[in-house]
Each structure stands twice: as structure tokens, then as C-alpha cells.
Amino acid sequence: MNKLIALAGVAIFGLSGCVVYADDYDHDHDVVVVQDTPPPPVLNYSPVVLSADAGVYWDDYYYDDIWYFEAEVDDADSPYDVVSVWADVYDEYRGGVLLESFELYPTDDPFIWYSDWLGSTTYLDPFYSGYTVDIVAYDTFDDFDYLTLWAATY
């Protein structure tokens, strides 16, 4: 019977995920303190915007200007750790005012994010040379990186 109790005790301690301390202050009361072990720290690396491009071109099919935004983004955790990429367009000649934000979408290549927009659906002027674009990449832990560039206009 003692062997069975000893084996049960070993099995219980082998399966437990916490540490239990028992202290006898007197023989009438046992004080049990349960202390959970903290989870290990989560290591996360920020994404890195390796390169980016932004600009406008004329499209004869739509008979409209097309604004395009492209980014090459990596993350040391995995390129699949990047969950969103945005292009924030600022007017530098008016003091860096944010004009519009455009979402970029993943492509078949997990490192490349891209989107293009009809010029008639934006507030951007294709002949204005004062636009800077922040390409901002976010990962699953909301860490981010950005790259600023001038938009190519006519």
C-alpha cells in the first residue's frame, strides 16, 4: 500500500504545472501556498520595410490616373508575422499634413505587399510634387517599422 501511495505522489508531482508548499505551524492546521510559474517571455522581432515605391501613372483602359504603392517587408519571426502594411500620404508643402492612408495587400510573394487606386477615388493630385509616403508595416504584436519616400508624380 505504501508503494502505491508513493507512486501516486510521484505521478501527481510529475503532472502538476505548479509548485505547492506545505507548512505546519501547529498540528491542527496546514497552510498550503500555491505558486504558479510565470509564462516564458515572448520574443518578438519588429518587421523591417526593406524597400518601397509609390507613384502615379496614366492608364488608357480606365482613362484615369492610377496611384500605386508597393513594399518589400520582412520579419525575423517570419514574413507571415506581418499582418498589415499601410501607405500614409503627407503633404510636405503644407507642413506634413496627413492626406490619406491606403492599405496594401499581400501578394503571392509573402515579402511583397501592393495596392493601386484610381486617381478619381483619391484626394491626390498627380501633378503635385509635395507628397511623401510613409510605408508602415505592422506585425502580430503591433510592432512596426516604416520607410519614408517621395511619391513619383508627373
Three-state DSSP string of 23-71: EECCCCCEEEEEEECCCCCCCCCCEEEEEEEEEEEEECCCCEEEEEEEE
Q: What is the pLDDT along the chain (154 residues), one digit of tens a residue?
A: 566 565 556 555 555 555 656 555 555 566 666 777 888 888 999 999 999 999 999 999 999 999 999 999 999 999 999 999 999 999 999 999 999 999 999 999 999 999 999 999 999 999 999 999 999 999 999 999 999 999 999 9
Residue 77 burial (C-beta neighbours within 10 Å; 0-12, 13-18, 19+): middle
Q: What is the pLDDT of residue 37?
A: 83
| 57 contacts 37 by C-beta, under 8 angstroms | no
Bridge partners of 31, per DSSP, are: 23
Residue with cell 512596426: 144
List Cβ neighbours of 72 (8 Å cut-off, separation of 6 or more): 49, 50, 51, 52, 111, 112, 113
User: 10 Å Cβ neighbour count for 76?
Assistant: 13
Q: What is the pLDDT of residue 1?
A: 58
| 116 contacts 66 by C-beta, under 8 angstroms | yes
